[in-house]
Each structure stands twice: as C-alpha cells, then as structure tokens.
C-alpha cells in the first residue's frame, strides 16, 4: 500500500544514503534525499515533509542549523538525528532543541523503521491535538473540521506573497480571513487596507484604490493617496471584486502584474510592494462567464483559493459563536445572560442561517438588547427563528385561518418586500438595513439593481 508520508533524508555520503533508502523501501514513504543543508531547506519549503532523518555533519552547514530553522519556522516536522559513533554528546544537545530521537551509525534496518514510524506518529498526534485546540483563530471562532482545514490553508498561504481569492456567502468572514492571512504573514507589521468595491460609488472606486492628484476631477481639491499606496509593504484586500467596472479591472491587472500604478489625473507611475487578496460572495467563474470579471484578472488573483463554508455547514460552531456573542453583548449591555437553554440551542442549531455569522451576531444582539434573564429561552428569539423554531405555540392555531390570512407569494417578492421595508424603516440607509437584515450592503445593492433591471422596483 502506498504511504502518503513524505520523509527527507539529509545525508552527504552517497553510499549511506543508498543503504538507508533501501532500508525504507518496504515502507513506501515518499522519500526525498538532500546531500547538503541548503538543498534540505529548499526541499522542506517545497514539499510537505513530515519527518527528517538528519546527518549533523554536512558539507555546507552544520545539521543543527537546519534543526534551528525548522524550530523557528514552527514546522510540524519530527527530526531524527543520524549521528556517527562517538557523537552522542551532540545528539543530546540536539534533543534539547526539540529533536525527536537519534540513531547512532551503524544502525539496523529494523531500528530505522521503528524510530521513523514513531517519529511520524508523533507528528500526526501533534497535528490532531493542535487542530482540536483551535477553537479561536485570528478572529474566527469555530472548532469544526471544515474550519480546521480553513485554518490550515491560512497558515500555509500566509508566508507567501501569492495572491489569495476568497469566496463564501455574505457573513462567512471573508474580511476576517483576509486579515488572518495578513496577520500571519511576514508583512503583518505593514498595513492591511480593505476596500469594498460594492460599498463605494462606482465613479469613486478608481480614486479610492489608486488615489488622485489635485484637480484630477471636480471636487479633487487636494491630492490624496489611495489604498494601493497606503497598503505599501502590507496587504490590499479587495472585497466584492465583481462590482468593479471592467476598465478599472484592466488597470488593476496592470498594477498586479507590474506593482506600479498611476493615481487618477497623473501620468507618473508609483511603485509599491503589495500582496493582493480578493473576495466575492458569488461564484467567480460565473462572474467571468457573465462578463462581470475579467478572465485574465481572475487567473492572476486566483492563485490560492479559499472557500469559506456557510454557517449551516459548520455544525456545533453555531453554538460556540452564539455563546461568545452572548457573553460579549451581555457584558456590553449590562445583562445577566449566562447561556442558551436546551430548547433555544435546538432552534439555533436547526436554523439555516442564510446571513451566516453576521446574522447570528445580529440575532444574539437583538436578544440581549430586548431581554434579560439567566438564560435565553425560545420565546426571546426574534422572528425568523421564532417562526421556524420547534417551540410549541402557547395557543392552538387554526391553520386554515393562517392560510387565508397569508397568501403565498413568490420568494423573490417576499424577499424584495422585506428588504424594501427594512430600507424604509432605516430612513433609506442601505448599510443600516443590511446590518439589521444580517447581510452585507453589497448584497442589497446587487439585489436591488437586479430588480431595477427587470423593472420590478
């Protein structure tokens, strides 16, 4: 049976390397061999190495330097030192640095196989334990398996400068994800600049991103740096990329390709060092097909894709997050809530959460503001949950009356009415209405535009 573990042998003697590789042939690991330190580090960077068999005396560097580098990088790798007879002192010193075990040459095939198996088992255990411990990760709350894989992708993507393309429904945490990648990157000391292309009037997006010079357009009384300049040395996060017009997408593509851009109204180019993260709540390939996103820009940005799962696919994360919000809002609002009762928990877990974490946040905030008590009960839940929840009604309802009183409308119409009502109640403020509806403002802009295009609004 093929083995999916990758093992790196660092040994400068070709004859010994041959012997050790033969010893391990039956184990069917993915074996890599480096005959020097620089080559070893390059291989660890390029391959998912889980164990290293490390000779300490190498032609270009001391093997201990490789061990220190692995420690500094905090890579989940078990290192087994293979040391010459009489070098035990150094092996013990290496154990203090976190080396898993050592083998004194010459050693038997059996000893090598057992030691390596144990070393690989330890890596698996460390990974499992490490994953289970991660219920909080750079602004995310969630212990579900699907979120553990997101944390791992963020960890792997962060050190590189490669562009990241985040997809996910509204409210799944795309900006939190972008910020997490920035925080864990070597650019974390630099700025993180986020631009929501849907929240800025289309005419101003270019100036927001690239800045403008004095007099570039009516009202440009002063020169102003854009997000591109402000993100120099850091990360530029472009949310709702599909909302950007195609001409501007072409300018963005040139900027990504060259690292240089011209502010609005200027012919001079400015160079910056920026990492790009883009996001959309729609399928980016659909955006390309429908002509809203340039294909070349899509491929330029879509180097590392991250798809954030909707809350309904995150199992018990709903309760982890709800409990966390309940604590926070209770503290802020001076309430005594300590948790949700089992019935209320069942309702929260049963609900679909179309607005994801943002909707959950609003629901819990609503509960805390309008109620008080030791624990949250189903009666405290606001409408979408109160209706769908399993809590029995206090009085029997004559269903025929309900049917007569509520004619069935097409879903889009119900949605449109709910959105328009919310906007009216918020004095025409789309961001406030979006906040209360548990969706992002861009979702409302997009839906309203679509209805307007069809003559429905």
Partner 1 sequence: MTNALLDDRVIEQLVADTGPSVLPDLLSAFVEEMAELAPRLADALDHDDYLAVARDIHSLKSSSGTFGALALRGLAEGMDSAYKQGELDSALELGVELHLRIRETIAALQARYPLRVS
In the complex, the residues that contact partner 1 under the rule CB under 8 A are 12-16, 18-19, 22-23, 25, 57, 59, 84-86, 105-106, 108-110
> Residue 421 — φ and ψ, nearest 5°?
-65, -45
Instruction: Select 18 or 424, whichever has its Cβ closest to partner 1.
Output: 18
Please state, in angstroms and rounded to a whole number, the distance separating the CA atoms of residues 10 and 269.
Answer: 47
Q: Closest Cα partner for 437 from 447, 261, 20?
A: 447
Say if residues 80 and 116 touch (Cβ distance below 8 Å). yes
What would the DSSP string read from start to end of 225-271?
A: --HHHHTTTSEEEEESGGGS-HHHHHHHHHHHHHSEE--BT----EE
- The minimum distance between CB 30 and partner 1, in angstroms, equals 19
- Using alpha carbons only, how large is the chain's radius of gyration in Å? 28
- The minimum distance between CB 17 and partner 1, in angstroms, equals 8
Please state, in angstroms and rounded to a whole number, the distance separating the CA atoms of residues 97 and 65.
Answer: 11
Q: Closest Cα partner for 236 from 212, 213, 215, 256?
A: 256
Tell me the two tokens of residue 127: 């990974």
Instruction: Select 105 or 122, whichever has its Cβ closest to partner 1.
Output: 105
Using alpha carbons, list the distances in angstroms from residue 184 to 203, 276, 334, 396: 34, 15, 35, 55
Instruction: Select 58 or 360, whichever has its Cβ closest to partner 1.
Output: 58
- The minimum distance between CB 97 and partner 1, in angstroms, equals 20
Instruction: Select 7 or 82, whichever has its Cβ closest to partner 1.
Output: 82
Please state, in angstroms and rounded to a whole number, the distance separating the CA atoms of residues 22 and 42.
Answer: 24
Q: Closest Cα partner for 190 from 218, 231, 155, 157?
A: 231
- The minimum distance between CB 52 and partner 1, in angstroms, equals 17
- The minimum distance between CB 87 and partner 1, in angstroms, equals 8
Instruction: Select 85 or 454, whichever has its Cβ closest to partner 1.
Output: 85
- The minimum distance between CB 104 and partner 1, in angstroms, equals 10
Instruction: Select 117 or 230, whichever has its Cβ closest to partner 1.
Output: 117
- The minimum distance between CB 357 and partner 1, in angstroms, equals 56
Please state, in angstroms and rounded to a whole number, the distance separating the CA atoms of residues 204 and 240.
Answer: 15
Instruction: Select 101 or 343, whichever has its Cβ closest to partner 1.
Output: 101
Say if residues 228 and 266 touch (Cβ distance below 8 Å). no
- The minimum distance between CB 114 and partner 1, in angstroms, equals 13
Instruction: Select 37 or 242, whichever has its Cβ closest to partner 1.
Output: 37
């Amino acid at each position: 049976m093929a083995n999916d573990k990758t093992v790196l042998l660092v040994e400068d003697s070709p004859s010994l390397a041959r012997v050790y590789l033969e010893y391990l042939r039956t184990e069917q690991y993915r074996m890599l061999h480096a005959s020097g330190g620089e080559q070893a580090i390059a291989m660890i960077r390029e391959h998912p190495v889980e164990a290293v068999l490390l000779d300490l005396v190498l032609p270009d560097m001391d093997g201990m330097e490789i061990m220190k580098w692995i420690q500094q990088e905090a890579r989940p790798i078990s290192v087994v030192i293979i040391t010459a007879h009489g070098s035990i002192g150094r092996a013990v010193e290496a154990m203090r640095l976190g080396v898993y075990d050592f083998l004194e040459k010459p050693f038997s095939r059996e000893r090598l196989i057992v030691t390596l198996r144990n070393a690989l088992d330890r890596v698996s255990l460390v990974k499992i334990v490490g994953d289970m411990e991660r219920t909080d990760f750079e602004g995310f709350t969630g212990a579900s398996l699907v979120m553990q894989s997101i944390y791992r992708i963020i960890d792997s993507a962060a050190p590189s400068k490669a562009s990241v393309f985040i997809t996910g429904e509204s409210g799944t945490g795309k900006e939190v994800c972008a910020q997490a990648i920035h925080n864990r990157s070597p650019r974390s000391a630099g700025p993180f600049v986020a631009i929501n292309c849907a929240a800025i009037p289309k005419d101003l997006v270019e100036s927001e991103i690239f800045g403008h010079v004095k007099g570039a357009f009516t009202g440009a009384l002063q020169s102003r740096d854009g997000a591109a300049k402000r993100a120099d040395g850091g990360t530029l996060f472009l949310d709702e990329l599909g909302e950007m017009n195609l001409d501007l997408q072409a300018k963005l593509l040139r900027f990504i390709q060259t690292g240089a851009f011209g502010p609005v109204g200027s012919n001079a180019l400015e160079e910056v060092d920026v990492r790009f993260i883009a996001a959309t709540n729609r399928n980016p390939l659909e955006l390309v097909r429908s002509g809203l996103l340039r294909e070349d820009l899509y491929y330029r940005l879509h180097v590392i894709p991250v798809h954030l799962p909707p809350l309904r696919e995150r199992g018990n994360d709903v309760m982890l997050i709800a409990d966390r919000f309940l604590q926070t809002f209770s503290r802020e609002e001076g309430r005594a809530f300590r948790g949700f009762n089992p019935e209320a928990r069942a309702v929260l877990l049963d609900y679909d959460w179309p607005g994801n974490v943002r909707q959950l946040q609003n629901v819990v905030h609503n509960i805390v503001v309008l109620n008080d008590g030791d624990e949250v009960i189903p009666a405290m839940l606001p409408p979408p949950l109160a209706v769908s929840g399993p809590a029995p009604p206090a009085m029997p309802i004559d269903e025929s009356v309900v049917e007569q009183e509520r004619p069935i409308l097409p879903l889009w119409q119900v949605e449109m009415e709910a959105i328009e009502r919310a906007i009216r109640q918020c004095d025409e403020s789309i961001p406030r209405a979006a906040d209360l509806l548990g969706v992002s403002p861009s979702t409302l802009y997009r839906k309203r535009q679509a209805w307007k295009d069809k003559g429905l609004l």
